[in-house]
Amino acid sequence: MEPAWAALVTADAVAEKLRSRTEVDEGTGTRRFTDQTRPTLAEVQAAAAGAAQAVEDDIGVPIPEAYWDAAARMAVYKLASEIPISEDDPTTEETAQSARYAALYRDGMAVLYRKVRPPTFLAI
């Protein structure tokens, strides 16, 4: 069962991070995944649900509502680090971009973990 906050992980949020993988929506001028992009909109949506579940699994407990936005941001960073930036061999810049998103995920997850699962101390 996917986390209650999984709907906050949107394809549009991922598109903001991976602009080279999207198309411009003529009506709004925003970048979006479509049926013609790689990955497709459906693939990103499916991956978003999986990324949300991975974040919650990594935390180890259901994430309280107060932290849903932060958890969704971590899922977007996870996707941005894992989706290939280009169909060809990635450039050094593209590899660095993926590494930046992976670092944002790693560092953000450490903070989220401490907030959701603060250390407990045993009284002696």
Show me where the domains of the chain are located: 6-116
Structure tokens at 16: 């903001």
DSSP class of 54: H
Contact present, 52 and 72 (Cβ < 8 Å): yes
Task: Say how many C-beta atoms besides its own lie within 10 A of residue 93's C-beta.
Answer: 9
**Cβ-contact 101, 41 below 8 angstroms:** no
DSSP class of residue 42 equals H
What is the residue whose two structure tokens read 């450039």? Answer: 91
For the ranges 2-6, 28-32, 35-39, the maximum mean pLDDT occurs at 2-6
pTM, 2 dp: 0.85
Total Cβ atoms within 10 A of residue 7: 13
Q: Would you say 39 and 33 are in contact if contact means Cβ atoms under 8 Å apart?
A: yes
pLDDT tens for each residue of 41-76: 999 999 999 999 999 999 999 999 999 999 999 999
pLDDT at 38: 83
Asked if 31 contacts 86 with a C-beta cutoff of 8 angstroms, the reply is: no
Residue 72 pLDDT: 98
Which of residues 70 and 20 earns the better pLDDT score?
70
What confidence score (pLDDT) does residue 9 get?
97
pLDDT digits over 70-114, tens only?
A: 999 999 999 999 887 666 666 777 788 889 999 999 999 999 999
Residue 44: both structure tokens together:
């990103």
pLDDT at 111: 96
